[in-house]
Amino acid sequence: MTEATTIPGWTAGTWAIDPIHSEVGFSVRHLMLSKVRGRFEKFEGEIVTTDDILETRATISVDLSSINTGNADRDNDLRSANYFEVDKYPTMTYRVLDLRADGDRYLADGELTVKENTNPVPLEVEFHGINKDPWGGTRGGLSATGEINRKEFGITFDMPMEGGGLVVGDKIKIDLEIEAVLQQ
């Protein structure tokens, strides 16, 4: 066991992501002025741990039609051929291929697939711990953050602004809050 001793209660096994107590969120610049935040309402995934935390692997699949930015017109536009094309590409997936320690934090080296475009996307990961829940199960929690360029994933629609800049920025910040349940 290498790094697992730094997380109290570390347990090897297969963990199902609890979508009720988790969030897959993002933010992007709008009009070069403010950030629009959103999240996906439907997703599933699992985390597989061993005695060595650095051997942790994970997968998550996100239903792109479940996007919610708090504005129905914007959400419908994001589902359209302008952005996600959910009729043709209904899901995006992320797979953690490697986990490494970086000082007092962890970096997940993974790959994100959107619209059949797969690119490496590192995420900074913070483990929050593992606890027993009131129903006799075991739960773990983590946060992960990263950034992508939407154009690397085939999301290239641009609406230029008068005077320069774009209505929607190229950089998308990813924010994950994950609670997972150890499977028996």
d(CA 24, CA 175): 6
Domains of the chain: 8-182 (2.40.128.110)
pLDDT for residue 94:
97
pLDDT for residue 31:
58
The pTM of the full predicted model, rounded to 2 decimals, is: 0.88
pLDDT at 167 over 60: no
